[in-house]
C-alpha cells in the first residue's frame, strides 16, 4: 500500500510541476520563491542549487526576472484582492500615500495622476477604489509593481491578502 501511495504522490507532483511550467516563467519564479520561503532547507537541496550541478550544454547566462506582458497573473490577483483592499482593514490613508509615491517614482503614474490620487477630498473607500481601478486598467506591469510596493510599505496587509493564501503565491498549499 505504501508503494502505491508513493507512486500516486510522485505522479501528482509531476503533474503539478508540469502545470506550473505550462503557466510560464512568472509562475515558475513564484513557485521557487514560495518553496524557498516554506522550506529553505529542501529548496537548497534541489539539484539545481547544488555546487557543480551540470545541465545539458553550457551554463546559460542568468536571466533577469521580468514580467511577461502576455501573462495577466497580477491583474487577476488584484481583481481577486480588490474587495479586501477597499474595505475597512485594507488600504489606509498612509499606505495609499506610500503606494502612490512609490508607483509614481516608477513611472506608473504621471504627475497629474499622482496628484489626483494624493489630494482628493473624497472618502478613503472611493479614493482606494479609483486607485485600484486605475492600476487594473494600466495592466500587468503596474499591478506587479503595486504588489512589490505594497509588500515594502505594509507587510502585514500584504500577507493578509486573500490571494496570499491561494494559487498566486502559495501553490504548495493546494497539493
Question: Do 119 and 160 share a structural domain?
Answer: yes
* Predicted pLDDT of residue 67: 46
Question: How many domains does the structure of the chain reveal?
Answer: 2
Q: What is the mean pLDDT of each run of 10 residues along the chain (175 residues)?
A: 74 77 71 77 75 47 44 81 86 94 92 89 89 90 92 91 64 39
Note the pTM of the prediction, 2 decimals.
0.56
What is the domain extent for residue 153?
73-165
End-to-end CA distance of the chain: 20
Give yes or no: residues 109 and 151 share one domain.
yes
pLDDT of residue 95: 93
Query: Does 62 reside within a domain?
Result: no
- Residue labelled with grid coordinates 503557466: 23
Confidence (pLDDT) at 99: 95
Amino acid at each position: 500500500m505504501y508503494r502505491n501511495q508513493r507512486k500516486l504522490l510522485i505522479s501528482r507532483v509531476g503533474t503539478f510541476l508540469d502545470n506550473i511550467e505550462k503557466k510560464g516563467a512568472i509562475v515558475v519564479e513564484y513557485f521557487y520563491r514560495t518553496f524557498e520561503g516554506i522550506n529553505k532547507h529542501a529548496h537548497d537541496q534541489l539539484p539545481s542549487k547544488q555546487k557543480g550541478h551540470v545541465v545539458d550544454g553550457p551554463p546559460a547566462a542568468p536571466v533577469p526576472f521580468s514580467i511577461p506582458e502576455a501573462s495577466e497573473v497580477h491583474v487577476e490577483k488584484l481583481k481577486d484582492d480588490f474587495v479586501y483592499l477597499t474595505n475597512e482593514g485594507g488600504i489606509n490613508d498612509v499606505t495609499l500615500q506610500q503606494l502612490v509615491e512609490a508607483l509614481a517614482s516608477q513611472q506608473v503614474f504621471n504627475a497629474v495622476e499622482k496628484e489626483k490620487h494624493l489630494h482628493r477630498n473624497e472618502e478613503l473607500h472611493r479614493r482606494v477604489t479609483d486607485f485600484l481601478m486605475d492600476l487594473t486598467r494600466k495592466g500587468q506591469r503596474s499591478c506587479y509593481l503595486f504588489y512589490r510596493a505594497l509588500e515594502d510599505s505594509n507587510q502585514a496587509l500584504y500577507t493578509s491578502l486573500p490571494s496570499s493564501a491561494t494559487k498566486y503565491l502559495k501553490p504548495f498549499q493546494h497539493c
